[in-house]
């Protein structure tokens, strides 16, 4: 009986591992094939509290709102619902894009929000005024360089789960994994210019 139980546990473990691999291979890996390893970010859906905190830091703002690595689209849909328009997401994974579009259709927002299969590193963000970033820490330094180069001064960046290590947030909300940070680009640029001047002295 004990031996049979051990074999049963082993079979369950093998089956579970196969299921995880299949999920990765079919659903998640397609979005990573053209992205360098150091810039790959696994899909992790945002919790309702994370979504609420991120949108709270954008309340009252206007202008184009984008979610970089939009996953299943929940942040974009909530942004549109709260009046941030146009609202769109950039996502490479075709399965997640399908899921996001289904969620938009189910919510009655089909045609009002956009989910585009584009590499966030290759899109021009110069017309974006609100940027949502729920990405891994390894991505933040190179992304900070891109945002500094492209975003207008009146843009606001909201980061979830992990802050930008070299930026000082203008405000923050929540604690632990639910914490989000807001950065106003005019202040970020002023701080970066000040640091550059001090380093030259």
Mean per-residue pLDDT pooled into runs of 10, the chain (201 residues): 58 58 47 45 83 97 96 96 96 95 95 95 96 93 96 97 95 95 97 81 63
Q: pTM value?
A: 0.79
Q: Could you identify the residue written with the tokens 């999920």? A: 23
Give 39-197's CATH code, choosing from 3.90.180.10, 3.20.20.70, 3.30.43.10, 3.40.50.150: 3.40.50.150
Q: What is the pLDDT of residues 126-153, one digit of tens each?
A: 999 999 999 989 999 999 999 999 999 9
State residue 45's pLDDT score: 85
State residue 70's pLDDT score: 95
State residue 63's pLDDT score: 95
State residue 8's pLDDT score: 66
C-alpha distance from residue 141 to each of 25, 28, 120, 150, 165 (Å): 28, 24, 14, 15, 7
Distance CA 17, CA 23 (A): 10
Distance CA 96, CA 196 (A): 40
State residue 35's pLDDT score: 44
Angle at 155 between CA 149 and CA 156, to 5 degrees: 110
Segments making up each domain of the chain, as ranges: 6-33, 39-197
């Amino acid at each position: 009986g004990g031996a049979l139980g051990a074999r049963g546990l082993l079979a369950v473990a093998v089956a579970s591992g196969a299921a995880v691999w299949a999920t990765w291979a079919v659903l998640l890996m397609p979005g990573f094939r053209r992205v360098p390893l150091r810039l790959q970010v696994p899909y992790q859906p945002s919790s309702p509290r994370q979504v609420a905190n991120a949108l709270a830091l954008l309340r009252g703002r206007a202008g184009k709102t984008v979610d970089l690595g939009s996953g299943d689209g929940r942040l974009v849909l909530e942004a549109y619902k709260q009046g941030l328009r146009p609202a769109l997401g950039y996502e490479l994974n075709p399965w997640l894009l399908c899921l996001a579009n289904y969620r938009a259709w189910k919510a009655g927002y089909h045609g009002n929000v956009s989910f585009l299969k584009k590499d966030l590193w290759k899109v021009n963000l110069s017309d974006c005024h609100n940027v949502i970033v729920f990405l891994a820490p390894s991505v933040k330094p190179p992304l900070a360089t891109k945002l500094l180069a492209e975003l207008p001064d009146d843009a606001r960046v909201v980061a979830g789960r992990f802050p930008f290590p070299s930026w000082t947030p203008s405000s923050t909300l929540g604690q632990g994994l639910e914490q989000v940070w807001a950065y106003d680009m005019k202040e970020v640029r002023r701080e970066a210019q000040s640091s550059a001047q001090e380093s030259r002295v």
